[in-house]
Amino acid sequence: MLLLNPGPVTLTERVRRSLLQEDLCHRESEFFDVQEEARTRLVNVYGLDAAQWQAVLMTGSGTAAVESMIASLVPESGKLLIVENGVYGERITEIAKQYGIAHEVAKHDWMQAPDLARIVDHLDADRAITHVAIIHHETTTGRLNDLRALGEACRAHGVQMLVDGVSSFGAEAIDFNDASIAAVAATANKCLHGVPGAAFVIARRAALATAASRTYYLDLKRLATLQDQRNTPFTPSVHAYYALVEALRELADEGGWQARHARYAALSEQVRAGLAARGMASVLPKDESSVVLRAFRLPQGIDYPKLHDALKVRGFVIYAGQGGLSAELFRISTMGDIHAADIERLLAAFDEIVR
């Protein structure tokens, strides 16, 4: 079965085999070697300076990392502006509500790009705002939100950015030189090609220094402090860490995030052109889309469940549109061990179904 959903991904054999390494006690030095290798390699994915940046690992899915980042890095006296243009932005608002974090929302239609002028109005009108949360790749629609323009506005207002990079880290450009970026949350099982169960936040050490402690299990500062001491507060998902390390080695061997970006770009263009030729238009223009996932209009006369099931019996798992979009769209991700020949077979399967 080929997974074309946005994580968990189809694993390479190399990563799959890494799960079968020896059993480890998480209080032994062998585990801390694994933890350290994962943290070092994560900081190196974007070539960051370890004196300024820290990778903080945790056991959980991508949402755990996002929740840990939001609950920890907005200081007790801070206020968060959340840029919403999809399900994942809305999730950050839910998290802020849950923790009683002072917040405002710049709400957009799911199909809309963030309106920078409106965001700047928010920042101008409310000088209490200290942080802006944004989804880098809004997986709801496949839109790549423009971090560069937002970063500029944040720097001008002395505000810091908290980035949900869960479905972009490892495959899209992220300018960590942007001084407004305080942290990026992500996970092992999307563009990095690991397995679910390990997630992480890449955080500025300076941001960790002013962190709040609103959550017990996901307290980012405690996790960071202990991990810097080759320690861990709880039992980590040891096998997911094995897979993360192997996936990071594989990413480096293949040429790093830039090579992965180029590979995804070619695959997603192959999907886009192939489906366009079969009458299924992509929802967003190419220059607004990530290379990681694209949303397409459902073909005439076929609803999503029918398309999904017909593709599944042919060996492909695609992904529904979320919420109200499920009646109009389907999504195809090209993350994971997927190659041009797989996309050719996928398009041939569409030919059988849509005709």
Ligand X SMILES: *Cc1c(COP(=O)(O)O)cnc(C)c1O
3-state secondary structure of 174: coil
How far apart CA 336 and CA 234 sit, in angstroms, is 29
Q: Tell me if 132 contacts ligand X by CB under 6 A.
A: no
Which parts of 318-337 interact with ligand X (CB under 6 A)? none
DSSP codes of every residue in 63-94: HHHHHHHHHHHS-TT--EEEEESSHHHHHHHH
For ligand X, the closer of residues 165 and 299 by Cβ is 165
305: exposed, middle or buried (Cβ count in 10 Å: 0-12, 13-18, 19+): exposed
Q: Does 68 bind ligand X (CB under 6 A)?
A: no
Please identify the residue of the shown chain whose CB is closest to the bound ligand X.
62
Size of the site for ligand X (CB under 6 A): 14
Q: What are phi and psi of 328, to 5 degrees?
A: -110, -30
Say how many CA atoms lie within 13 Å of 214 toward its Cβ: 23
Torsion of CA 53, 64, 146, 102, to 10 degrees: -90
62 binds ligand X (CB under 6 A): yes
Q: Which of 4, 43, 66, 70 binds ligand X (CB under 6 A)?
A: 66
Q: Is 215 in the site for ligand X (CB under 6 A)?
A: no
Q: Which stretch binds ligand X (CB under 6 A): 69-77, 102-110, 132-140, 251-259?
A: 132-140
Q: CB of 80: closest distance to ligand X in angstroms?
A: 16
Number of Cβ within 10 Å of residue 220's Cβ equals 28
Closest CB to ligand X among 2 and 198?
A: 198
Q: In angstroms, what is the minimal distance from the CB of 56 to ligand X?
A: 16
Q: CA 70 to CA 93: how far, in whole Å? A: 10
Binding-site member from 12, 44, 61, 326 for ligand X (CB under 6 A):
61
SS3 241: helix
Q: Output 135 or 195, the one with its CB closest to ligand X.
A: 135
- State yes or no: residue 135 binds ligand X (CB under 6 A): yes
CA dist 144 and 291 (Å) reads 9
CB atoms under 10 Å from CB of 179, counted, come to 12
Q: Which residue has the tokens 């897979």?
A: 243
Candidate residues 54, 130, 180, 187; the one interacting with ligand X per rule CB under 6 A: 187
Position 70, amino acid:
I
Q: Which of 5, 54, 160, 167 binds ligand X (CB under 6 A)?
A: 167
Choice between 24 and 67, CB closer to ligand X: 67
Stretch that binds ligand X, among 99-107, 160-168, 217-225, 234-242 (CB under 6 A): 160-168
* Minimal distance, residue 189 CB to ligand X, in Å: 7
Binding status of residue 88 toward ligand X by CB under 6 A = yes
Q: Does 188 bind ligand X (CB under 6 A)?
A: no
Cβ 167 vs Cβ 139: under 8 Å: yes
Only segment of 9-17, 161-169, 224-232, 326-334 that touches ligand X (CB under 6 A): 161-169
Min. distance of Cβ 338 from ligand X in angstroms?
A: 17
Q: Out of 2, 4, 5, 6, which residue is the one contacting ligand X (CB under 6 A)? A: 6
Stretch that binds ligand X, among 50-58, 164-172, 279-287, 305-313 (CB under 6 A): 164-172
Contact between 270 and ligand X by CB under 6 A: the answer reads: no
Q: How far is the CB of 6 from ligand X (least distance, A)?
A: 6
166 contacts ligand X (rule: CB under 6 A): yes
Q: CA torsion angle for 280, 285, 289, 294 (degrees, to 10)?
A: 0
Q: What is the DSSP letter of 320?
A: E
Write out the DSSP string of 129-155. --EEEEESEETTTTEE--HHHHHHHHH
* Residue 12 binds ligand X (CB under 6 A): no
Torsion of CA 128, 129, 131, 137, to 10 degrees: 180
338 binds ligand X (CB under 6 A): no
Chain residues binding ligand X by CB under 6 A are: 6-7, 61-63, 66, 88, 135, 137, 139, 164, 166-167, 187
